[in-house]
Structure 1
Amino acid sequence: MFRVLFSLLGIIALILIAVALAYAIGRYRRKKLVEKTLDFDPGTALRVSYYELRQATEGYSESCLLGAGSFGSVYRGTLNNGRDVAVKVFHLHLQNAFKSFDVECEVLRNLRHRNLCKVISTCSNPDFKALILEYMPNGSLEKWLYSDNYILDILQGINIMIDVACALEYLHYGYSTPIVHCDLKPSNVLLDEDSVAHLSDFGIAKLLGEGESNAFTTTLGTMGYIAPEYGLEGSVSTRCDVYSYGIMLMEVFTRKKPSSEKFSGDINPRSWINDSMPNAIPQIIDSKLLVLEEEHYAKKLKCLSSLMELALNCSTESANERMNMKEVVVALKKIRFQLLGPRPE
């Protein structure tokens, strides 16, 4: 009788221990939510837990929110080591959010360029995914274009667009396989403390396979910036980025978004610029950039005309007629030389 009782007690004790262990392991896994370290920053083994990220962003507070995109929100945070970072938290309830996270990790894991936004690490488990990014204290190019508190002069605009062009040149030609960003726009261009531009948000980027010049997708970028063949057929190539770049080049120096009320029906940024060339440039350029009475007016006008011509050559209807990013970088540096003279690299 006692032997049976002791056996039952032993079995019950084992069951209770097993349940307690299972509970403890599950709780530990949920609590840690520690990121996968993905060698984004060579020599760095930074590991960040979910709870450190939550503390760093004050519980993903509205006051820490830097911006929101198609698949996630970006918060400013300060890690335990005192480092300021940007934390991109993916909205996993949205369709394609998991894929967007995986694409950004895949693209940014091996890329190294001064004009690409650096990913420091990630925090990932089945219920939570975030990228820990280098913090850009000067915010986005969009902020500088449309806030009354910030002003870009012509030279600053050119330097920023050269930075973006260099980033795209690297994506298209500097990696083992071409990478198409697919969502180029001012909100995805971030400025560091020295106002050097860094291209960000690779959530819908496409890696072209070996020997491929284009791919097909059902995921579209932002309306107004996407190339005709991309919007109509889902056909993606490096020339799509060139088209978006041309539209953004127009926007930077006119301060008119493609979604502006000015553009409707047959009137779009490209037709508006094209119809204004070459004599009506002063009427379309941002009034803060070109003042008739200022010094070097003629030189600035010539420079801005060259920029608009370059933008038109990037955004032709036919993809085959567009310039490539290597040519764009060379053209932009020539325009800067016209304005300023040689600049140390």
Structure 2
Amino acid sequence: MKLPKSIGNLSDSLQVLLIHSCEINGKIPSEIGNLSNLYHLSFAENVLSGSIPATISNLQALQLLNLMGNELDGLIVDELCDIRRLAYLYLSRNQFSGAMPFCLGNLMYLQELYLDANKLTAEVPSSFWNLTGILQVNLSSNMLVGNLSFKIGNIKSLTLLDLSRNHLSGTIPTTIGSLQNLQIFSLTHNILQGKIPVSLGNLLSLEKLDLSQNNLSGEIPKSLESLTSLKYVNLSYNELQGEIPSGGVFKDLSAESFMMNKALCGEAKMQVPPCRKEKRKRSKAKLILLMYILPVVLSTIFIGLGIILFQRKRINSRHTMKQDLSTLGTPIRISYFEILDATNRFDKSNLLGSGSFGSVFKGRLSSGIMVAVKIFNFDSETLSRSFEVECDAMRNVRHRNLVKIISSCSNVDFKCLIMEFIPNGSLEKWLYSHNYCLDFLQRLNIMINIASALEYLHHGLPKPIVHCDLKPSNILLDDKMVAHLSDFGLAKFLDEGKSRTLTETIPTIGYVAPEYGSLGIVSTKVDVYSFGIILIEVFTRKRPTEDMFVDRLSLKSWVSESLSHSLTQVIDSNLIQGDDPRYIPDILTTTSTIFELALNCCADVSRKRCSMSDVVASLNKIKDMFMQRCHLDKY
């Protein structure tokens, strides 16, 4: 539904117009400017597109304009600045680009400005800092550049200032200490340098301070201890050094607030080395005494220097990637700081996914190679073992349908794998996103790829490897739509191909074989079962955990009961609604054969399931027959 042009014919006396979350699309009609007596206008959380009409300047009585959560684009028009009484302007979560209007500094009645989550560029205009009466400013998640102006100290009434997730550089101006009413202050995910101003200790109303993910250096000011209202502090991922304060709010903070800095020291709970306490004042008598024992002192100094050099070497080695997992012939050494640069300090824009194990970020190495960096949570013994298992599993495997591990890193507080970057994302994304669609042969080829990878793991290694966590989210597609199996954190090694019984399992509901989920028995047939479920899922586009599968009805039984009489009810409708109806009978016939194979794979009794070698042979035969029937020479 679109906003009609007749909206401009509403009563001249109309003062409030609110249309929230109604899926209104199209453009904002220019006739909106006829409603000259409006003082409150909101079209928030719709799907409006295009730009803000210039006629908006006719709404001289307007005090609140809320257009957040739409798809508006283009520049933020200067005509907004003509609405002199405007006090609340909300344009968050749109697609606005270009620079912030310089004339915003003329809106002297403005109290709240939210421009976050857009594509704004350039610097914050200097005139903006003339808005001495503004209370809340959120410019986060844009592409703003430049330095923070010292004029920031003019806005003494400010209670919220969020400039996070931009590209701001330079230093934090000391004038920030003038903002006595500031409660929330965030500069996270920028490229700020220099020291944290001591003047921050003047912000007596401050409740939240986030300066993480920058290049800040020097010591943490002890003046922050005096901020009695402060409840949250995050200074992680910087280059800070010296002692972590222990008074005030710092007594209740955890190590997460300070992790990944240059050389901090303090209490053991902060997971940093203890600080060395040195006496700086010495009496004359001690100085004279040193003159007599100078040879001993010199010897001690040389020994101390040797220890320091040794420790530095150890510290440097802790932050160096080891190449023992590399798929390349020449060893690669990648420092921790190179990973920071490659991922833009693990910027959220580079986040590919996350789960209980940790997070995966994409990045570009200095050599130009795109990689995926899988970071493990190190505060869990189980997840720590998962890292070791994945390293062991991938150390000596080589197959075109397995994600390649380039390198790894492991130290006391950081564990990660550096993997090849697979650009097209997961099979789950391609199955269930409305923006993507896989045709019949693409789906069949993907399953052949994964079957080939499992055949290699089960039958092509001295000790078979069972993946134990097959699911669409662990199947990645490259730029040629070739599938690669990933995430070996739950993999198990089998001696001489025998099964194992585990006391602990972490099954994925819907894909786990009965004997694995209930008894912890692991064999290659566990993967065969999961593969069969995925094979059904790929051609039905139904998850095994769908709400419809309750009581005795499951994905398996639903397909099994429909094979003989109602296949069209279970097959993904996208496969039989294509542009060429000639192939529909062959697609239905072939899918029926695929489902029969899949049901064999996920038989409840493991000995009745076929092997992955049989699966690969059967799928290739099914594909050849389909292409012959459809007279397809190449795909």
Question: Shorter-chain TM-score category?
Answer: over 0.9
1:1-345 superposed matches below 5 A:
5-15=290-300, 18-19=303-304, 22-23=307-308, 25-31=310-316, 33-210=319-496, 212-291=498-577, 294-341=581-628
* More displaced stretch, 37-46 vs 114-123: 37-46
CA offset digits 1:12-44 (Å, max 9, x no partner) = 455455555545544554455001111531413
Q: Whole-Å Cα distance in 2 between the matches of residues 62 and 281 of structure 1?
A: 43
After TM superposition, the score normalised by the length of structure 1 is 0.93
C-alpha distance in 2 between matches for 1:29 and 1:53: 19
Relative distance call for 1:204 and 1:9 in structure 2 (3 A) is: same
State which drifts further: 228-237 or 94-103. Answer: 94-103
In structure 1, distance between residues paired with 2:356 and 2:559? 29
SS in structure 2 of the partner of residue 75 of structure 1: strand
| Partner amino acid, structure 1, of 2:468 | C
Counterpart-to-counterpart distance in 2, 1:121 and 1:229: 35
Q: Which letter maps to 1:84?
A: M
- Higher-Rg structure is 2
CA shift in 2, pair 1:4/1:286, >3 Å: same
Do the aligned partners of residues 324 and 343 (structure 1) sit closer, same or farther apart at CA in structure 2, a change above 3 Å counting? Answer: farther
Q: In structure 2, how many angstroms separate the alpha carbons of the residues matched to 1:5 and 1:112?
A: 64
Distance 2:514 2:625 in 1: 32
Q: Distance in 1 between matches of 2:294 and 2:510?
A: 72
Q: Distance in 2 between matches of 1:217 and 1:166?
A: 30
Deviations 1:220-255 (A, max 9, x none): 231110000000001110000000000101111111
Identity over aligned pairs, percent:
48
Letter paired with 1:259: T
Amino acid aligned to 2:514: P
Asked if the contact 1:76/1:84 (under 8 Å) is kept, the reply is yes
Question: Secondary structure in 1 aligned to 2:416?
Answer: strand
Tell me the distance in 2 between the aligned counterparts of 1:194 and 1:159.
Answer: 11
Residues of 2 paired with 1:219 and 1:213: CA distance?
14
| CA deviation after TM superposition for structure 1 residue 162, in Å | 0.1
C-alpha deviation, 1:100, in angstroms: 1.1
C-alpha deviations, 1:142-190, integer Å up to 9, x for none? 1111111111011000000000000000000000111100000111111
* Secondary structure in 2 matching 1:202: coil
1:8 maps to amino acid:
I
Give CA deviations for 1:272-300 in whole Å, capped at 9, x if unaligned. 11121222111111111113981222111
Taking the aligned partners of 1:309 and 1:211, their CA distance within structure 2 comes to 26
Distance 1:330 1:173 in 2: 14
CA contact (8 A) 1:208 1:215 kept: no
1:210 deviates by: 2.7
CA distance in 1 between partners of 2:537 and 2:497 (Å)? 34
Deviation at 1:123, TM superposition (A): 1.8
Determine the structure 1 residue equivalent to 2:167.
none
Q: Is the 8 A contact 1:35 1:125 kept in 2?
A: no
Work out whether residues 220 and 234 of structure 1, in 8 Å CA contact, stay in contact via their aligned partners in 2: no
**Match of 2:573, SS?**
coil
Which structure shows the bigger proportion of residues in helix conformation? 1
1:212 deviates by 2.2
Mean alpha-carbon deviation: is it higher for 31-40 or for 310-319? 31-40
SS of structure 1 residue aligned to 2:539: helix
Between 1:233-242 and 1:294-303, the stretch displaced more is 294-303
Compared with structure 1, are the counterparts of its residues 19 and 261 closer, same or farther at alpha carbon in structure 2 (3 Å cutoff)?
farther
Deviates more, 1:178-187 or 1:257-266: 257-266
Residue identity in the other structure for 2:331: A
1:202 Cα deviation from its structure 2 partner: 0.6
Q: 1:93: how far off?
A: 1.0
> Aligned with 2:415: secondary structure?
strand
Q: Measure the CA separation in 1 of the matches of 2:292 and 2:482.
A: 73
Q: Distance in 2 between matches of 1:338 and 1:254?
A: 21
Choose 88-97 or 4-13, whichever is displaced more.
4-13
Structure 2 unpaired stretches of 5+ = 1-284
